[in-house]
Amino acid sequence: MPSKKTEATASQWVLFKRILALAKFQRHWMIIAIILTIVQSVITAFQPYLYKTVIDEVIIPKQFQLLEKWALILLIWLIVQALLGFANSYLSESIAQSVILKLRQYIYDHLTRLKLSFYDKTPVGTAVTRSISDVQTITDLFSSGVITIAGDLIQIIVIMSCMFYMDVKLTLITLTVVPVLLFAANRFRKGIRDTFQDVRNQVAKLNAFLQERITGMQIVQLFNREKEEKRRFDQINQAHRDANIRSVYYYSIFFPIVEVLVAVSFALIVWYGSGSLVRGSIEFGELTAFIMFINLFFRPIRAIADRFNNIQMGIVAADRIFKLIDDVDNIEQTTEVAAPKFSGDVKFNHVWFAYQNEEWVLRDVSFHLPQGKTMAIVGATGSGKTTIASLVNQLYQQQKGDILLDDINIQSLNITSVRQQIALVLQDVFLFSGSVKDNIRLHNDDIDIQKMIDAARSIGAYEFIEKLPGGFDYNVMERGMTLSLGQRQLVSFIRALAFDPRIILLDEATSSIDTETEQLIQKAIDRLLENRTAIVIAHRLSTIAKADEILVLEKGEVKERGNHASLMAAGGHYAHLYETQIAE
Ligand SMILES: Nc1ncnc2c1ncn2[C@@H]1O[C@H](COP(=O)(O)OP(=O)(O)OP(=O)(O)O)[C@@H](O)[C@H]1O
Ligand SMILES: [Mg+2]
**CATH number of the domain encompassing residue 31:** 1.20.1560.10
Please check whether residue 262 is in contact with residue 294, taking contact to mean a CB–CB distance below 8 angstroms. yes
Which atom of ligand 1 is least distant from the CA of 390? 18
Query: Per-residue pLDDT tens for 439-455?
Result: 888 888 788 888 888 88
Query: Whose Cα sits closest to atom 6 in ligand 1?
Result: 355
**Domain-terminating residue out of 166, 181, 215:** 166
- CA dist., res. 301 & res. 312, Å (int): 17
- CA dist., res. 422 & res. 505, Å (int): 7
Which atom of ligand 1 is least distant from the CA of 537? 22
Q: Is any ligand 1 atom within 6 A of the Cβ of residue 390?
A: no
Give 409 Cα–ligand 2 centroid separation in angstroms: 25
Counting ligand 1 atoms within 8 A of each CB, the residue from 357, 358, 361 with the most, and so the one to mutate, is: 361
Q: Is any ligand 1 atom within 6 A of the Cβ of residue 492?
A: no
Residue 228: inside a domain: no
Closest CA to 501 of 406, 417, 402: 417
- CA dist., res. 63 & res. 53, Å (int): 12
Helix, strand, coil content of the chain in percent (nearest 5): 70, 10, 20
Give 536 Cα–ligand 2 centroid separation in angstroms: 11
**Domain-terminating residue out of 139, 166, 193:** 166
The secondary structure element, H or E, covering residue 424 is strand 422-425
- CA dist., res. 538 & res. 301, Å (int): 71
Give 387 Cα–ligand 1 centroid separation in angstroms: 6
Residue 285: inside a domain: no
Please check whether residue 487 is in contact with residue 459, taking contact to mean a CB–CB distance below 8 angstroms. no
Say what the pLDDT of residue 407 is.
93
Give 485 Cα–ligand 1 centroid separation in angstroms: 21
Residue 511: inside a domain: yes
Of all ligands present, the nearest one to the C-alpha of 539 is: 1
- CA dist., res. 508 & res. 106, Å (int): 36
Bridge partners of 507, per DSSP, are 537
Q: Is any ligand 1 atom within 6 A of the Cβ of residue 398?
A: no
Q: Is any ligand 1 atom within 6 A of the Cβ of residue 385?
A: yes
Q: How far is CA 356 from CA 121, 348, 475, in A?
A: 10, 21, 39
Long-range contacts, 162-171 (Cβ 8 Å, 24+): 162/45, 162/46, 162/48, 162/49, 162/293, 163/290, 163/293, 163/297, 166/49, 166/52, 166/286, 166/289, 166/290, 167/282, 167/286, 167/290, 169/272, 170/269, 170/272, 170/273, 170/276, 170/282, 170/290
Q: Where are the alpha helices (DSSP H) in 114-225?
A: 116-121, 124-129, 135-141, 147-166, 168-175, 178-215, 217-222
Query: Which 3 state secondary structure label does DSSP give 243?
Result: helix
Residue 304: inside a domain: no
Residue 1: inside a domain: yes
Residue 390: inside a domain: no
Burial class (CB in 10 A: 0-12, 13-18, 19+), 397: middle
Number of H helices, E strands in the chain: 22, 12
Query: Per-residue pLDDT tens for 387-408?
Result: 999 999 888 999 999 999 999 9
Counting ligand 1 atoms within 8 A of each CB, the residue from 115, 365, 385 with the most, and so the one to mutate, is: 385
The domain tally of the chain equals: 2
In what order do the strands lie in the sheet containing 422-425?
422-425, 503-507, 533-537, 374-379, 549-554, 557-562
**Domain-terminating residue out of 166, 195, 226:** 166
- CA dist., res. 584 & res. 512, Å (int): 12
- CA dist., res. 88 & res. 61, Å (int): 39
Give 410 Cα–ligand 2 centroid separation in angstroms: 22
CA 134 to chain centre: 7
Query: Whose Cα sits closest to atom 13 in ligand 1?
Result: 382
Closest CA to 251 of 194, 202, 192, 180: 192
Say what the pLDDT of residue 556 is.
92
Q: Is any ligand 1 atom within 6 A of the Cβ of residue 112?
A: no
What residues in the chain have per-residue pLDDT under 70? 1-10, 123, 125-126, 145, 478-481, 510-513, 581-584
Query: Which residues contact residue 247 at a Cβ distance below 8 angstroms, ignoring those fewer than 6 apart?
Result: 192, 195, 196, 198, 199
Give 381 Cα–ligand 2 centroid separation in angstroms: 7
Give 497 Cα–ligand 2 centroid separation in angstroms: 21
Give 379 Cα–ligand 2 centroid separation in angstroms: 10
Give the number of other CB atoms < 10 A from CB of residue 114.
Answer: 18
Please check whether residue 368 is in contact with residue 342, taking contact to mean a CB–CB distance below 8 angstroms. no
Residue 348: inside a domain: no
Which atom of ligand 1 is least distant from the CA of 385? 21
Say what the pLDDT of residue 570 is.
87
Closest CA to 169 of 279, 41, 261: 279
Counting ligand 1 atoms within 8 A of each CB, the residue from 118, 119, 387 with the most, and so the one to mutate, is: 387
Q: How far is CA 480 from CA 128, 212, 403, 464, 579, in A?
A: 21, 17, 33, 16, 35
Q: What is this structure's pTM?
A: 0.70
User: CATH no. for residue 512?
Assistant: 3.40.50.300
Which DSSP letter does residue 423 get?
Answer: E
Of all ligands present, the nearest one to the C-alpha of 385 is: 1
The secondary structure element, H or E, covering residue 566 is helix 564-570
Query: Whose Cα sits closest to atom 28 in ligand 1?
Result: 382
Enclosing domain of residue 46: 1-166
Pairing of strands 360-369, 346-354: antiparallel
Q: Is any ligand 1 atom within 6 A of the Cβ of residue 355?
A: yes
Say what the pLDDT of residue 143 is.
72
Q: Is any ligand 1 atom within 6 A of the Cβ of residue 386?
A: yes
Give 29 Cα–ligand 1 centroid separation in angstroms: 53
The secondary structure element, H or E, covering residue 560 is strand 557-562
Say what the pLDDT of residue 369 is.
94
Residue 363: inside a domain: no
Give the number of other CB atoms < 10 A from CB of residue 462.
Answer: 19
